[in-house]
Amino acid sequence: MDSDQENVGRWIEGAKLSNLLASDAGLLLIDCRYPYEYEGGHIKGAVNAPVWPSLCRKLFDCKYARVDILVVFYCEFSSARAPRMHDLVRNYDRGMNYKHYPKLQYPQLRILEGGYHKFHKEHKHLCQSDGDGSIYTKMRSNGKEMTSWWRRCKEMNRPPHTLALREFSKQSPSAYDRFITHSPS
């Protein structure tokens, strides 16, 4: 399959997101950046979830569970962290709903095209800061805080099938066995 065909519907443009923010559409924004980036500026209403376990708890503990909600992921450029979180959520959702295929708890997942960097330039009025008043903080490529977050995220952002298996095994051994024998390849 052509990679362009695989990505159809995977991305959302900043202008469309801006229109959705102005409406009463069911929308959940997931900022996949590190906390210091989020505090330095983010899209209004976004939830910061830089690591998989916190995102999994927020999404799958039914706090936001609505089939009609559009979940939009973004990071600084939406080139690494946001696509990874998007894929983790999609795969985990598939694993959790394997018995009810093609049902998903979150069928509408998108990644913000160009990330926060581009959105901030074009829609600054829809951005806010929790920190020093600026509304854009670049990712640091060095420094103790950055290295610490990078290590933590690398370790915690495991493939979702291992997390799903861990959850099933807590429920019962038979749930684990059913998941193994029925999980999609």
- Residues assigned a catalytic role: 75
CA distance 139 to 162: 29
- Please return the burial class of 129, using the count of CB atoms within 10 Å of its CB with bins 0-12, 13-18 and 19+: middle
Measured CA angle at 108 (ends 58, 111), to 5 deg: 80
CA distance 83 to 131: 26
Helix (H, G, I), strand (E, B) or coil at 160: helix
Nearest to 164 by CA among 88, 63, 58, 72: 88
- Residue 105 token pair: 């708890």
| Identity at 85, one-letter amino acid code | M
